Amino acid sequence: MRSMRNVKRDVARAPVRVGRKADDAMLEHLLRELSAAGESSAVRRTQAGPHLMRPMAYVASVAIITVVVAWLLSAGRAPQSHEPAPVTSGIGLLTEISLERAFRHGGIQAVESQFRRALAAPAGKPTTPSFEELLTELAGNEKDIGGTSL
Amino acid sequence: MKAIIGNRFGKTLLFAVMVTWFASSARAYPPDNAAVLYYRAFMLYEAEDGIKSTLDDYRQGRIGQNEEIERYLAKNAPIIKMVLDATHIDHCDWGLDYSQGTEVLLPPHHKAREIFFLIAAEATRQADIGHPRQALEDCVCMYRMANHLNERPLICYLVATAITAATNKCVVRFLSEMPPDVETLTWLRDELAALDQQPFSVYPALDWKREAGVISMAPERIEGVVQAGLDEGDLKKRALERIRTADPQFYARNIVYWNSFLSRVQAAFHKPYEAARVEIQELDKQPAKDFDRNPDATLTACLAPTFLPIHFLSVRLQAQSNAVRAAVGVYLSQTQTGRLPETLPAGSLGDPFSGKPLQYEKADDHFVLRWQEKENPQKAGARQYEFKVRP
C-alpha cells in the first residue's frame, strides 16, 4: 500500500490538462454514483464510510478518480472492441478482397457501385483550406492574390 | 573537354548526345506508361446524367445518331484521344502494390466501362459516317485497353473480360454493315493475330490469386482480410475464433492446404470444358466441406472465390473471340470469291465448349457461328453470333 504522501506527490506531478468544469461535473457524477452504491449496501457502507469520511482519504480518492478519468479522456483509451470494424466506406472498399466480396453479392455491377461509393466526394463544405486560402496564406496578404492574378 | 570538342569524333559524339537529350525531353507525350494516360482520362471524364444509356443504345443500334450524341462525342474528343493514345503504348503499369496481398488497392476500373461506352459510341459514329476501317481501328484499341486493364487481380480480369466481350459485339456489327473490303479485312485479321501473340487470359489472375492468398495468410494480416472479405455469419465468427487462438503451425498448414487447393483449381482450368466444369464445381464446395473437421481448410474457406462463374466467363469469351476471328476469315473468303465458303476456312479457331469446330450455318444474307454452350438454354443469342452479308 502506498503512503498517502506518495499518492499526493504523484497526483500533484501528473501531467493532466483537462477543463476544470468538466472535471468537476465528472467528479460530482462519480460521487453521486458512489454514494448511491454505498447506501444500497450496508457492508460496503461500513467499510467505505469511515475512509470517505476522513478528509485526507477523501481528497486522495477524488484525485485518483480524476486522474484516471482524465487519462482515459486525454489518451483516447476508451475500451475498444477486439474486432476491427468492418470496412463500409473509404479507401478500404477498394481492396481486392473487399471488391471480390461485392462481386459475390451482385456481380460486376456491385463492384462498380462499390468503386463509386469509395470514390464519391463527400458532400458539404470542404474542411481543408481551398487553394485560394493556401495561396493567400503564402502571399501573406489577401489583396496580393485577388483570385485572378494567376 | 577542349580536346574532345576539338577533334571530329568528339564533335560528332557531343552532337549525338545533344540530339538524344533534346529528343527525349521534347517527346514528353505520349508517356512510356499507358497507365498515366488511363488515370488522366479516368480522372477527367465525368459521364453526364443519362448519357450512358443513350450511348449504349446507339452502340447497339437501338437508336440512330442524333445531335445529343454528336455534341457529347465532340465535347469529349480529348478524352477519347487520350485513351486511344494510351492503347498504342505497349507498357502499362498501374502501380499496384502487390506486397499487400489481397489487400492490394485496385485502380478505378469502373471508369473504364464508362470510357468504353464513349469510345464504342465514337466507333459506331465512324461506321455510320462511312468509315468502317476507323471504326474497327477503335475496336482494336478497345481490345488493347482490355489487355491493359487485365492486371493480376480477378476483379481486373472481370472488368477487362466485360470490355472485350462488348467490343466483340461491336466488331460483329461493323463487319455486318461494312462493304466488302479485302484490305480492311486483311488488316483486321493481322491485328487480331498480333493481339493473340499475348492472348487475353485468366491464368495470370489465377496465379496471382494463389500468391495473394499466401501473402494474406500472415498472422498480422489475416484478421483484417477475413473482416473485409466475409459477410457476417457463422463461418466468419468461427474462422476468427480459430485465427485468434492460432499458433504458427496453423498458418503453415493452412498455406499448404491453400497451395494444394489452388493447384487443383489451376489444373482444372486447363482441362476440356465439361471435365473442368464438373471438377471446379466440386472444388468450389471443398473448403467449406472441410472447414468443420479440418482446421487446415479454415483460411482457404475464407479466401477462395467461387471459381465456376469465372471459368464459364473465360470459356465463353474465348468462344466469342474465336467466332470473331473465324468470321473475318469467312468475310475474306466471300470478298475474294464472291460467295460464302461451304466450310470454315482452314485454321479457324474452334469451340472451347465442345472442343470441336464452331458450328457454321450460312444463308443468302447472313451466316451464323455457334458454340455448344449448355448454360442459358433459353437464350439462343448467347450461344451464337449472326453476321449479315452484303451482296
**Is A115 in the same domain as A128?**
no
Answer positive or negative: Cα dihedral of B378, B384, B390, B391. negative
Residues A62, A110 within the same domain: no
Does residue A104 form part of some domain?
A: yes
Residue A85 lies inside a defined structural domain of this protein? no
d(CA B218, CA B207) in angstroms, rounded, equals: 19
- What residues of B are in the A interface, CB distance below 8 Å? 100, 102-106, 108-111, 113, 153-155, 158-159, 162, 212, 216, 223-225, 227-232, 240, 244, 303, 305-306
Q: Do A101 and B231 make contact, defined as CB atoms within 8 angstroms? A: yes
Hey, are the CB atoms on B103 and A112 less than 8 Å from each other? no
| Domain housing A69 | 4-75
d(CA B194, CA B203): 19
Element containing residue B214 per DSSP (H, E): helix B203-216
Query: Is A82 within the bounds of a domain?
Result: no
Q: What is the pLDDT of residues B321-347, one digit of tens each?
A: 999 999 999 999 999 999 999 999 999
Beta carbon pairs, A and B, within 8 Å = 74
Euclidean distance between CA atoms B113 and B100, whole angstroms: 26
Any bridge partners for residue B368, and if so which? B361, B386
The grid coordinates listed for B284 are: 468450389
Question: Who's near B37: CB < 8 A, 6+ residues apart?
Answer: B30, B31, B82, B83, B85, B86, B89
User: Percent of chain B at pLDDT above 70?
Assistant: 93
If one counts every other C-beta atom within 10 angstroms of the C-beta of residue B164, the result is 22
- A129, pLDDT greater than 90: no
A9 shares its domain with A55: yes
Q: Domain boundary residue among A52, A75, A98?
A: A75
| Chain A contact set for B164 (CB, 8 A) | none
Q: Is residue A81 part of a domain?
A: no
> Burial of B67 by CB count in 10 Å (0-12 exposed, 13-18 middle, 19+ buried)?
exposed
Q: Phi first, then psi: what are they for A81, rounded to 5°?
A: -70, 150
Q: What's the mean per-residue pLDDT of chain B?
A: 93
Report the pLDDT averaged over residues B77-82: 97
Instruction: Report the gap between the CA of B199 and the closest CA in chain A (Å).
Output: 22
Cβ(B387)–Cβ(B369) under 8 Å?
Answer: yes
Q: Indicate if the pLDDT at residue B363 is higher than 70.
A: yes
Total structural domains in chain A?
A: 3
Q: How confident is the model at residue A42 (pLDDT cuts 50, 70, 90)?
A: very low
In chain B, the DSSP E strands lie at 359-362, 366-370, 384-388
pTM over 0.80: no
pLDDT for B170-217, tens place per residue? Answer: 999 999 999 999 999 999 999 999 999 988 999 999 999 999 999 999
For residue A83, being part of any structural domain is answered with: no
Do A131 and A106 belong to one domain?
no
DSSP structure class, residue A103: H
Q: Are A52 and A71 part of one and the same domain?
A: yes
CA distance readout (Å), B291 to B221, B225, B258: 20, 18, 12
Q: Write down the domain spans for chain B.
A: 1-30, 34-200, 206-305, 312-388
Q: A71 and A26, same structural domain?
A: yes
